[in-house]
Amino acid sequence: MRHLKIAVISIGMLCTWLTQPLFAQQKSDSTHTQSYFKASLDYLSNAVYNGRKDSTVLPYITPTFGYYNKSGWYVSASAAYAAAANENRIDYFSFDAGYNFSINNFSGDVRANKTFYNAQSTAIKSDIKGGFGTDLSYDFNFLQLGASADVIFDNKTDVAFNTNIAHAFNWGPDKQQWSLTPTLAANFSSLHFYEGYTNRRVGKAIKKNNPNVVSVKATTVVPNPGVTLLDYEASMPLTYDAKKWGFAITPTYAIPVNKIETTTTATYTLKNRSTITTTNNTTPASEKNLSNTFYLECSVYLKF
């Protein structure tokens, strides 16, 4: 299926790191009856988004600090450090705010995000400036079903959807809770984010290969930018949540589908003030030959 014909509204959101929607989603913590602060440190082995990744591996080390009110609302801020060789920079800053709610087995989240990417970022999401979204979830005890929807602000506005199905195995006392959650998910999105990413990539390549170039203006077009099924994901989050601290390890296997073709028109100005305009098929080799990706996310956090 190339395009999403029907908005799927099944329910269930699991953990903050479970699938790969736009935002680093906040986990509703029903075990806390008091407001608290939370500081976490996260390691991501590769910045994969909707099954897509840059030609070079981009790992992140991300500290996050947030405040979670017992009424359900929260705010947090994070800074992602690009830890790849020859990168070594703060790749983006992110600010999030939202509201969690839960009624019996039904729960949800409404959130907003603002992100500032480094101009040198090679991440697939590097053209994204923020957005807002919502999750709905329902726990049938033997099975959890879920969906999320996001409006994403980049050069043009995107919309994204996620659906997932999971079963959580929980053990241990309430204040020392272990959980293992096998999960299957599907991600859908419109494709303007990929146009913006390609603009950045093409502009950098022209400047790198042509030392006489002063400036570059690139415009990328995806022939069919509508909402498209982009990947399937299988993940196995393992979490430990104590009263004051916890950790999570989430291995994920992403299977991308539906190749994204791009055509870019680039106008660049030389030092002698002359201009050159070119139009080329800029679909990268990684997109022409889609490959599955395994990546890992690890997180440790303190609550106080």
66/224: higher pLDDT: 66
State what percent of residues in the chain have pLDDT above 70. Answer: 89
pLDDT at residue 33 in the model: 75
**Structural domains of the chain, with CATH:** 36-190+227-257+290-303 (2.40.160.40)
Which among 279, 199, 262, 186 is positioned nearest to 225, based on CA atoms? 262
In the block, residue with structure tokens 């022409």: 288
Max avg pLDDT among 2-16, 55-69, 206-220 = 55-69
Paired tokens of 172? 């241990």
Global confidence as pTM: 0.84
pLDDT at residue 32 in the model: 57
Through-space distance between the first and last CA atoms of the chain, rounded to whole angstroms = 47
- For the chain, where are the E strands, in sequence order? 36-44, 60-68, 73-82, 89-103, 106-117, 130-139, 144-153, 157-166, 169-171, 176-180, 183-189, 213-221, 228-235, 238-242, 245-256, 263-270, 275-281, 293-303
pLDDT per residue as tens digits for the range 84-137:
888 889 999 999 999 999 998 999 999 999 999 998 898 999 999 999 999 999
- Return the H-helix or E-strand segment holding 172: none
State what percent of residues in the chain have pLDDT above 90. Answer: 66
Give the CA-trace dihedral at 39, 44, 49, 51, to 10 degrees.
-140
Which among 255, 260, 250 is positioned nearest to 25, based on CA atoms? 250
